[in-house]
Amino acid sequence: MNSFISREQDYALRITARLAELRKGEQMSIKELSNDMFISKIFAARIVHKLKLAGVLGTNQGRTGGMFLASDPKKLSAYQVLNIIGFKVKYNNCLADDFNCELIGKCRFHGFFHKQEIIMIEQFKKMKISDFLFNKTKQNNGGH
């Protein structure tokens, strides 16, 4: 393991990027989405629910239900999506809030890891969901 990004977080990114390709007013069912993105339907539903609670996407229940992106994909960062699914990753445990390091003030690794972590997070904040569309020709945001 030891992956920064969990499967669930990865799926959340895929899902938002896929929904960002829909036209205005268009929606998509979990079934279709999970087929497209190769995620089990039930797992996808759970993720979709979290994203909905966070306001990133909207859902309609019922027979003609489905879901759609409720945020501007050009403003929605990868970092935001990851955080909704619980992105609490650290370069090293010693950077965690509740970590009590006996070597604090003496250990130079701490500062190095801290700096690297900040650099990484900046990258995740910089990248927006619109940068990750699967098929750019289908995209429908301004300038078409």
Partner DNA sequence: TTTAAACATTACCTGACAAGTAATATATAA
Partner DNA sequence: TTATATATTACTTGTCAGGTAATGTTTAAA
Q: Could you tell which of DNA, a copy of itself, none binds residue 19, using a CB distance below 5 to 8 A set by kind?
A: none
Q: Could you tell which of a copy of itself, DNA, none binds residue 144, using a CB distance below 5 to 8 A set by kind?
A: none
Question: In the numeric block, which tokens belong to residue 31?
Answer: 């079934």
Q: Which residues of 99-126 are buried (b: 16+ CB within 10 A; e: fewer)?
A: eeeeeeeeeeebeebeeeeeeeeeebee
Distance CA 117, CA 122 (A): 9
* Residue among 71, 44, 73, 49 nearest 134 (CA): 73
Judged by beta carbon, residue 86 or residue 126, the one nearer DNA is 86
Q: Which residue among 60, 72, 112, 125 contacts a copy of itself (CB under 8 A)?
A: 112
Judged by beta carbon, residue 93 or residue 123, the one nearer DNA is 93
Distance CA 57, CA 144 (A): 23
Number of residues engaging DNA in binding (CB under 7 A): 31
Q: Which positions touch a copy of itself (CB under 8 A)?
A: 1-7, 10, 13-14, 17, 37-38, 88-94, 102-103, 106-109, 112-113, 116, 120, 123, 127, 131-135
